[in-house]
Structure 1
Amino acid sequence: MIRGIYTAVSGLITQEAKQDVVTNNLANANTIGYKTENLATKKFEDVLLSNYDKKVLGKNVKNNIGSISLGSKIDETLTYFSQGNIIDSDRETDFAINGRGFFTLQGENGRNYYTRDGKFNVDIQGYLVGSNGNRVLGENLSTGQREPIYVGNGKLSVDKEGNIAINNNVSHRFLMSDFENYNSLHKVGDNLYQGENPNFQGAFHIKQNALEASNVNVVNEMVNMMTVMRHFETNQKMIQMMDETLGKAANEVGALR
């Protein structure tokens, strides 16, 4: 009975974590470039139950009853990198990626970050930056150097290959990063990812004056929310039932009348 309570409690913990993920997806349904998450769970290893009630030749011997699960546990959070819808905008510093890959941003610590959020701005120093202030990296077509993209007060235009022209003078190309295995990426907040060993050969097209919407399916997430709530309530009722049974066993069974 006690083991059953622990099993049901593990289910409550898992469902609560799932609800947090679903809630986060719904909260970011309108976040540019956001990718849906899902919580993967797995069960604890089954435990073999046995007793010594079986008798052979007058001796008690081990009798295997069967196995029992000790409940579920959180495995990992998976991110689905499917393409979001491309929506038009009226800003020349808005860019959408159609296909694979990520924009590459340079943090203040010198580390590179990756994002699908192409809602950029020009900072007071004239550099193209992401929504969090990190500078967008590009390849200097003259020197081959990878460096922050300087725009200044010039007219910005970008073709579908990511070539950047300032006042009709092509100077840089977006440094687009791609990864063989997207499961190696992990979120670090502000719609940014970190990853190791990027390559720069992604199959993509860049669209200016456009943004990639979140790939969250609100209807699916609402269904997931209701499913999580039903599972949570079921585990709650199981715990309540086992608690009442234990109470009767402790207070009523064998009591003298």
Structure 2
Amino acid sequence: MRALYTAATGMAAQELSVQVISNNIANLRTTGYKKQRAAFQDLIYDHVRRVGAQASDQGTILPVGIDLGGGVKTVGTPRLMSQGTLSPTGNDLDIAIRGDGFFKIQMPDGTFTYTRDGSFQMDNQGRIVNAQGNPVQPTITIPQNSSQLTINTQGQVSVMLPGSTTPTTIGQIGLTRFINKAGLQPIGDNLFVDTPASGQPQDGIANTDGFGDMQQSNLEQANVEVVSEISDLIAAQRAYEMNAKVISSVDQMLQSTSNLFR
């Protein structure tokens, strides 16, 4: 029966939905994580009686038709790029973006990736790097024996050098934005790469031309809402169970039909 295969597509769709929700919950404490949701569409229809077709020789038109759906399909798992809450850390190299933009990271092969995770460190050369040791762009090197590291809302990095009474600017951390942020491809490690869907990267300075500002000694938390995810999980589980019930009912109907031939 058609319902057997239709319900099977529903079970597969809800299984994927649970996988997406579980990943959101697993990354609840991941810095800068942006949650996903599963998006579905109905499958092609079998038009047994096409609506609007001629119903008689007198030219009457069918006001309604008979359309049998083929189930559901997954069309994507779009990422929601809404702002996460900022959490103070007290670490001078922690930076949160409040608004639009991504940090630009240079990879070992010379390519660039993008992240909202501003939990930066300093490597053995004094460069500001991410957790994997890749430098933030533009590359900034903190001089030895410097103190009082300050990063303002535009990303200017200043330190107090030995023998100096005024801060010295040693560089500026830039931001990058995209026309379609949801078109970025995640590659793990809190990193994204640009794709034809995201549009070309647009480099700029924080707190100018629509870019967000930077907040030193803060980190952006994941934009995952626990209550919403749990309610979505319950709904997906119930939908899975109902599709499984349909398969069980169809199986019983088929069994009853086969018993007629015994």
Scaled to the shorter chain, the TM-score interval is 0.7 to 0.9
Which whole-Å CA distance do the structure 2 matches of 1:11 and 1:38 have between them?
16
Q: 1:161 aligns with which of 149, 154, 165?
A: 154
**Counterpart residue number, 1:67:** 67
TM-score by length of 1: 0.86
**Counterpart residue number, 1:232:** 240
**Counterpart residue number, 1:151:** 142
Q: Verify: 1:244 aligned to 2:237, yes or no.
A: no
CA deviation digits over 1:164-188, x for unaligned, max 9? 1133221211120011221221211
Which whole-Å CA distance do the structure 2 matches of 1:149 and 1:47 have between them?
62
> How far 1:132 moved relative to its partner?
2.4
Change (3 A) 1:47 1:132: farther
TM-score by length of 2: 0.84
> How far 1:115 moved relative to its partner?
0.6
Which whole-Å CA distance do the structure 2 matches of 1:65 and 1:206 have between them?
58
Structure 1 runs (4+) deviating above 6 angstroms are none
Structure 1 unaligned blocks of 5 or more: 51-55, 57-63, 139-147
Identity fraction in percent: 31
Q: Which has the higher strand share?
A: 1
> How far 1:13 moved relative to its partner?
0.7
Structure 2 unaligned blocks of 5 or more: 50-55, 57-63, 161-166
State the secondary structure of the residue aligned to 1:126. Answer: coil
8 Å CA contact 2:157, 2:171 repeated in 1: yes
Which whole-Å CA distance do the structure 1 matches of 2:103 and 2:252 have between them?
57
Which whole-Å CA distance do the structure 1 matches of 2:249 and 2:103 have between them?
53
**Counterpart residue number, 2:88:** 88
Which whole-Å CA distance do the structure 2 matches of 1:236 and 1:126 have between them?
58
Q: How many positions carry a matched residue from both structures?
A: 233
> How far 1:248 moved relative to its partner?
1.8
8 Å CA contact 1:119, 1:130 repeated in 2: yes
CA deviation digits over 1:79-134, x for unaligned, max 9? 11111111111211100111100110011121111111100111122211112222
CA deviation digits over 1:212-247, x for unaligned, max 9? 111100000000000000000000111111112112
